[in-house]
Amino acid sequence: MKVKQIAFLLILFLSSCSPASKQPVSLPSEPFLVIAHRGASAYAPAHTFPSYELAIDMGAHYIELDLQRTKDGKLIVLHNDSIELNGNEMEIEEITSDTLGAFKPAEEFNQPSNQFASQRFASLRVPSLEQVLREFGDQTNYYIEIKSPERYPGIEQQLIDQLDGHHLLNREDPLPKVIIQSFSSDSLKKVHELSPSTPLIQLYSFKEKADLPTSKLKRVTRYASGIGVNSMAVTEHLVKTVHQSGLAIHPFTVNDPEHAAALISMGVDGVFTDKPDLILHLLSQEYEQD
Ligand code: G3P
Ligand code: CA
């Protein structure tokens, strides 16, 4: 055999072995997933321990975490990529975790008009990913959003290493312990190469009804197991097209029971919600009627 032929066959063999060539895993079709958006964040400040504890106690299948990274390289759980501290706007990537320690995430939640405001939340701080994983270990499932990957080079490897350190990846559980989501397809493709067995969700947001042609969804199937879409953009046609492509669909963020019921009847596979109790109650009623 000529050298060129041998080289060609070798490349073919190696490319078939590379993790990037692995198909994404399929998410189980049951149960309908109740994803506690930033925890049970209607009832306790978002992305705090009380919010996550409440979501787990209510029976949510996943707690949702948004990730940012501080200047000293710590992954922290916070929606926004900046905070206001002592009247100054500060980017998370430019402050240390020590500085972040002065920020009180409950202040926005603890408005007098909020019936769930409580002084017991006043002393809460922004948790690190490490603290959340140590606290809850494998007693819950994690639905983690890589929020601003362009700001945080290497965040994909860092996240996978950290999850691996807690033995949360490559497991044989009825539900995957970890699902990773992002609006950034580049970031998700990196995660898929690093951890092909971790289910990924490609996020989309539309001003009008969702427009996702089959050709686009087919490209998503190369690295992701499903999509997340803002709930008002979801249509029955979209759900059908997504399912025909072999993907799952999880709309966000659904707090109204009538809207949740409409999405369930369209056939979505789960929803992000600030009120896991409400969605779980709705689901229990649906099963009673069956
Ligand atoms: O992750 C789905 C949904 O949470 C995206 O919106 O802004 O709440 O992170 P956001
Ligand atoms: Ca999110």
| Domain residue limits, the chain | 30-289
d(CA 164, CA 238): 34
Q: What letter represents residue 37's amino acid?
A: H
* Structure tokens, 245: 């492509």
The protein residue with its alpha carbon nearest to ligand 1, atom 1, reads: 145
pLDDT computed for residue 288 by the predictor: 67
Q: What letter represents residue 247's amino acid?
A: L
Which residue among the candidates 47, 61, 79, 259 is catalytic per the annotation? 79
Q: Does domain 30-289 have CATH number 2.60.40.10?
A: no
Among 5-14, 72-81, 149-158, 238-247, the minimum mean pLDDT is found in 5-14
- In short, whether 269's Cβ falls inside 6 Å of ligand 1 is no
d(CA 228, CA 36): 14
Alpha helices by DSSP H, 102-235: 129-136, 155-165, 185-194, 214-220
pLDDT computed for residue 11 by the predictor: 47
- CA of 203 from ligand 1 middle (Å) equals 8
Q: Are 285 and 255 in contact (CB under 8 A)?
A: no
82-106 pLDDT, tens digit per residue, is: 999 999 999 999 999 999 999 999 9
- In short, whether 121's Cβ falls inside 6 Å of ligand 1 is no
Average pLDDT over residues 11-32: 72
